[in-house]
Amino acid sequence: MDTKLKKSKSFTAWLCFFLAVSIIGGLFITGLSALARFNGSVDALKAPFTDYKRSIAFKELTGNYFRELFDLVAYPSTDSRSKEWTKKYLDNEGENLLYYAVNKDSGLLVKNIEGDLPQISGAEMTPDLPAGYKYYWYFDGKKVWVIEDGQPVDVERLDSGYRGVIPREYADNTAELANSKVFMAVKDTLVKNPYGHSQYYMEQQFMRVLGWIYIALLVVGIALLIYAIIRRREKREFDRKLASWSGQIWLEVKMVLSLLALSLALTIYIDFSGVYGFAFEWVWGIFLVSCFTLVGLWWFYLMLVDLIFNGKSFFTHNSINSLLTWYRKYESRYSWQKSMLNRAYLLVAVEAVMALISVMFLLAAINGAGELALLAALLIAGAGIYLIYRYLKRYDETLSDLGKLMDHIELVKNGDMKTRLEVPADSNVYPAAQNLNSIQEGIGIAVAEKMKSERMKIDLITNVSHDLKTPLTSIISYVELLNREEGLPEHVNDYVKILSQKSERLKNIIQDLFDLSKANSDNIALDMEQLDLALLIKQTLADMEELINGSGLTFRLNIPDEPVYIVSDGKKLYRVWENLITNALKYSLSGTRVYIDLTADGESARAAIKNTANYEMNFSADEILQRFTRGDASRTSEGSGLGLPIAQSFTQICGGRFNIRIDGDLFKVELCFKQ
């Protein structure tokens, strides 16, 4: 409802504009035509507002009447039928027109005056006429006189309005006309003829009204124009609608219609500008000229609006483009690679046909078929070149879009989940781009979800670890206080000692558990730098020297003296080696040797620690890496049982590989790092 109202509003505004411009333009064209029609005499424009008898229309009509009379006397062969016809024609004016034409040589006489030709006396040339006839034309056998109020009018003056109106045939045959006389007088006050249609009277009435019609139209036109200017926004809206309608028309059709409109206006103008005759006729003629000119004007206005609102698409919406669009829709039925191939084949085929036709036209033109054939040849050749241009442009776009697609795949691979791939909707790779975008979005969501859950896991680990540590702190603190208490019975002291040991172990387990969970959550901060793995192993051994010395085991090192550089996190690797050595110390048969080997070949650094187990290893390598699995299966000894899993996790997050081999009583851990 609302939109309908709005629509009608915009249409009203536009209609006002249309009418205003049409009316004002029409008046303007009419005025211009009148000016041209009357040789630029401004009097032509004033005519409706002055005395009819001073107007050019009056002079022309009088001239027409006089010519009829004059023709009768000038051409002696004139038969009686034409004489009758002329008489009837003149008699339509009734008492508005008095005439008398005589050719004494042929004896022809036409008159509506009683008696003889009015005597024209001497220099004043005042004929003896009934009252009310002061204006007359008179041919005295030599020349045409126009007399007004007894004074001859200088008909040769440009501004007299008589140029082209006075018959001049007498100049060619003065001899035959010497005995001829033509007289015609017009009544001062033009009256209605009850016996016929007086042209004079009708034109007078018409001219009187015409002026007012003009003024009324002008006023209405200006009022409408002002309204349209006030409502220009709504008018513009309708312009846009017009543009959207006309935008659907092909450029070629528009061009043909434009040419048609132009030629129509011109033809009509040329046709009607030559019309001489009664005021009715030329007003009608001018009206038609105006109408057709206006139609042409409005057509070009529509084109202008189209151009302004549709911009580039004004030119691009043409038959070739529409054909291409249709073809694109058609080819979407085929697979991508097939449609690309088809396109190339089709182009070659079409180009061949067009070239053939073009050459044929060219040959025809050479053999004398004329310019039209040449034009056709050129047009077809132009269309062919345009097609090639379009194909290459499209090809270029497709290649660049493909490049974008590949770059984007690279981007997604590198973890950018935010940037979207923007490809025009009509691109050949648009569906692929859309798919890639949705894949990217999906991965992005999955990654975000994973990150969120990882963060929650870390929070959980941190909180649980804190919540475990706080009561444990109290336990350890109070056990320590108990430990310092003196005078307790011996067995209570034993109990306290057990409490002390177990709480210490609990502390280690909690810390290890925390470290392991964190390492497995992929959310651990790494401090990667280049370090010497050989040095690191030596440093760890030095750090644990006391433990090693007290273990009764011998360490056999096979470590190169030169540095073995790897990129890793030193602190984490220290934990790895600490755990591995502790493990070896704990589970080695006493008196045996522990071997630590390190080799590097420039590609990778391989380290191994071997020991002879002090128990039967009836488990697999995988099982030992299970959390809390311990070699001796009993859980009485110290340690969290997480030593190897932590070593494995830390090795892996530091970028290394971790392997366990069990061969009889030989327990071997192999580490491998990239160099």
Catalog residues that contact another protein under the rule CB under 8 A: 462, 465-466, 469-470, 472-478, 480-481, 484, 503, 507, 511, 514, 525, 529, 531-533, 535-536, 538-540, 542-543, 545, 561, 568, 570-571, 573-574
**CB count in 10 Å sphere of residue 58:** 22
Q: How far is the CB of 490 from another protein (least distance, A)?
A: 23
Q: What percent of the residues of the chain are helix, what percent strand, and what percent coil, each to the nearest 5? A: 65, 15, 25
**C-alpha separations of 400 from 102, 337, 397, 409 in Å:** 95, 16, 5, 14
Kindly tell me which of 1 and 542 has the beta carbon lying closer to another protein.
542
C-alpha–C-alpha distance, residues 653 and 645, integer Å: 12
Q: Which of 187, 200, 203, 202 is nearest to 95 (CA)?
A: 187
C-alpha–C-alpha distance, residues 276 and 163, integer Å: 13
Q: How far is the CB of 512 from another protein (least distance, A)?
A: 11
Q: How far is the CB of 667 from another protein (least distance, A)?
A: 24
Q: How far is the CB of 544 from another protein (least distance, A)?
A: 10
Kindly tell me which of 76 and 639 has the beta carbon lying closer to another protein.
639
**C-alpha separations of 26 from 33, 219, 287 in Å:** 10, 13, 8
Q: Phi/psi of residue 569, each to 5°?
A: -100, 110
Q: Which of 284, 297, 289 is nearest to 270 (CA)?
A: 289
Q: How far is the CB of 492 from another protein (least distance, A)?
A: 19
Q: How far is the CB of 402 from another protein (least distance, A)?
A: 46
Do β-strands 151-152 and 554-558 pair in parallel, antiparallel, or remain unpaired? Answer: unpaired
What's 159's DSSP letter?
G
Kindly tell me which of 350 and 531 has the beta carbon lying closer to another protein.
531
Kindly tell me which of 2 and 529 has the beta carbon lying closer to another protein.
529
**What tokens appear for 660 in the block?**
């366990």
Kindly tell me which of 112 and 551 has the beta carbon lying closer to another protein.
551
C-alpha–C-alpha distance, residues 102 and 109, integer Å: 4
Q: How far is the CB of 457 from another protein (least distance, A)?
A: 15
Q: Assign 608 to helix, strand or coil.
A: strand
What's 352's DSSP letter?
H
Kindly tell me which of 185 and 594 has the beta carbon lying closer to another protein.
594
Q: How far is the CB of 673 from another protein (least distance, A)?
A: 11
Q: How far is the CB of 311 from another protein (least distance, A)?
A: 59
Q: How far is the CB of 491 from another protein (least distance, A)?
A: 23
Evaluated on CA atoms 408, 409, 410, 416, the torsion sign reads: positive
Kindly tell me which of 470 and 618 has the beta carbon lying closer to another protein.
470
Q: How far is the CB of 482 from another protein (least distance, A)?
A: 11
Q: How far is the CB of 548 from another protein (least distance, A)?
A: 12
Range list of β-strands (E), 161-258: 180-186
Q: Phi/psi of residue 101, each to 5°?
A: -130, 135
**Which helix H or strand E contains 671, and what residues bound it?**
strand 666-674
Kindly tell me which of 455 and 571 has the beta carbon lying closer to another protein.
571
Kindly tell me which of 234 and 578 has the beta carbon lying closer to another protein.
578
Q: Decide: residue 72, CB within 10 A, 0-12 exposed, 13-18 middle, 19+ buried.
A: buried
Range list of β-strands (E), 560-637: 565-569, 593-600, 604-612
Residue with tokens 């050129």: 378
- List all residues 6 or more positions away from 165 whose beta carbon is below 8 Å from its beta carbon: 59, 60, 62, 63
Kindly tell me which of 210 and 472 has the beta carbon lying closer to another protein.
472
- Cα dihedral 105, 108, 112, 113, rounded to 10, equals 20
Q: How far is the CB of 545 from another protein (least distance, A)?
A: 7
C-alpha–C-alpha distance, residues 42 and 62, integer Å: 20
Q: How far is the CB of 539 from another protein (least distance, A)?
A: 6
Q: How far is the CB of 513 from another protein (least distance, A)?
A: 12
Kindly tell me which of 374 and 531 has the beta carbon lying closer to another protein.
531
DSSP state string for 504-558: HHHHHHHHHHHHHHHHHTT-----EEEEEHHHHHHHHHHHTHHHHHHHT-EEEEE
C-alpha–C-alpha distance, residues 338 and 202, integer Å: 80
Q: How far is the CB of 433 from another protein (least distance, A)?
A: 42
- List all residues 6 or more positions away from 105 whose beta carbon is below 8 Å from its beta carbon: 76, 176, 179, 180
Kindly tell me which of 239 and 569 has the beta carbon lying closer to another protein.
569
Please write down the long-range contacts of 414-418, taking CB distance under 8 Å and 24 or more positions apart: 417/441, 417/443, 417/444, 417/447, 417/448, 418/444
Do β-strands 97-103 and 108-111 pair in parallel, antiparallel, or remain unpaired? Answer: antiparallel
Kindly tell me which of 225 and 510 has the beta carbon lying closer to another protein.
510
Position 517, amino acid: S
Kindly tell me which of 442 and 563 has the beta carbon lying closer to another protein.
563
Residue with tokens 């003196």: 486
Q: How far is the CB of 453 from another protein (least distance, A)?
A: 21
Kindly tell me which of 310 and 649 has the beta carbon lying closer to another protein.
649
Q: What is the CA radius of gyration of the chain?
A: 57
Position 476, amino acid: I
